[in-house]
């Protein structure tokens, strides 16, 4: 059974940082690309970043210079380091596995106060 569990969200002031984690189980993590998305109230889910199995990365334009995705295959975990957070980054953040079937976690709330 595939399971993705996000953590690390919370309340932070503008200009602050957070690191999100997503622990995966139920599939071969080391050979699977992973991605982070977010969803703001009333908006569609937005692509943020992906990392492939050889640690190549790609980023959405809105976060390219502020967020960093990484992975630790020994821990079956993908991370999203978020710096210079702004109120517009407030959203629920989700991780996704990029195998034959795309699985999602339940998300973690990030709230940035001004």
pLDDT confidence of residue 101 = 86
Tell me the mean pLDDT in the region 21-50. 97
pLDDT at 55 over 90: yes
Average pLDDT value over all residues in the chain: 97
Task: Grade residue 23 by pLDDT with cuts at 50, 70 and 90.
Answer: very high
89 by DSSP, 3-state: which? helix
pLDDT confidence of residue 100 = 81
Tell me the mean pLDDT in the region 11-33. 97
Q: Report the share of the chain in percent with pLDDT over 90.
A: 96
């Amino acid at each position: 059974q595939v399971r993705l569990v996000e953590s690390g969200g919370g309340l932070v002031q503008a200009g602050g940082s957070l690191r999100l984690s997503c622990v995966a189980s139920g599939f071969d993590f080391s050979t699977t690309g992973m991605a982070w998305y977010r969803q703001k109230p009333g908006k569609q889910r937005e692509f943020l970043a992906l990392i492939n199995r050889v640690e190549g990365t790609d980023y959405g334009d809105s976060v390219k210079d502020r967020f960093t995705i990484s992975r630790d295959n020994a821990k079956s975990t993908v991370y999203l380091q978020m710096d210079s957070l702004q109120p517009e980054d407030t959203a629920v953040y989700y991780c996704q596995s990029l195998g034959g079937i795309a699985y999602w976690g339940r998300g973690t709330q990030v709230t940035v106060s001004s």
